Amino acid sequence: MTDPTIAAAREILGDSLEELRKAVEGCPADELNRRPVGDDTNGLAVLVTHTLHSTRAWLSLAVGARLPVRDRPAEFAVVVDDPAAFLATFDAFAAECRALLLTDAPFDAARVGTAPWRSGDVAEEPVTAAWALLHAIAHLREHVGHAQLTRQVV
């Protein structure tokens, strides 16, 4: 029987990933790469790339899976040349994120881990699995909203 917390997270994750994909579907490369209001903002490609890498990493920490290698600065430098390839990459990452929550194992909300992709002293600061799961979903939802708004202005 699936843990009710994981089941709820799975449902929210699925809905969020669908909304995020809709925000980039049909966009040509120039729209995916365009920064909406200048160089200090992120385009859709950057928002989506960062969101998927972050979600996969935090979900991995939450469920006790092997942590993925992550180059956070590279997430903010992505440039899309081929929108179809970008969507294929999106779909692969989304499948990995969904797979992390396809478990019937009990969710150990109190298990503690660290997030080495964080910068500075917080990289070694322990967080509970519950915190990592809630952060993964909250951060994803925040960036879904960003992508939806960005799509409206590019």
Domain boundaries 4-153, corresponding CATH code: 1.20.120.450
Q: What is the pLDDT along the chain (154 residues), one digit of tens a residue?
A: 789 999 999 999 999 999 999 999 999 999 999 998 888 899 999 999 999 999 999 999 999 999 999 999 999 999 999 999 999 999 999 999 999 999 888 899 999 999 999 988 888 899 999 999 999 999 999 999 999 999 998 7
Q: How many Cα atoms are found within 13 Å in the side-chain-facing hemisphere of 55?
A: 33
**CA–CA dist 52, 91 (Å, integer):** 10
Q: For residues 106 and 6, is the Cβ–Cβ distance under 8 A?
A: no
The SS3 assignment for 132 reads helix
All residues at 6 or more sequence positions from 123 whose CB lies less than 8 Å from its CB, including other chains: 114, 115, 116, 117
Radius of gyration, CA atoms only, the chain: 16
pTM over 0.75: yes
For the chain, the structural domain boundaries read 4-153
Q: Tokens in use for 1?
A: 């029987």
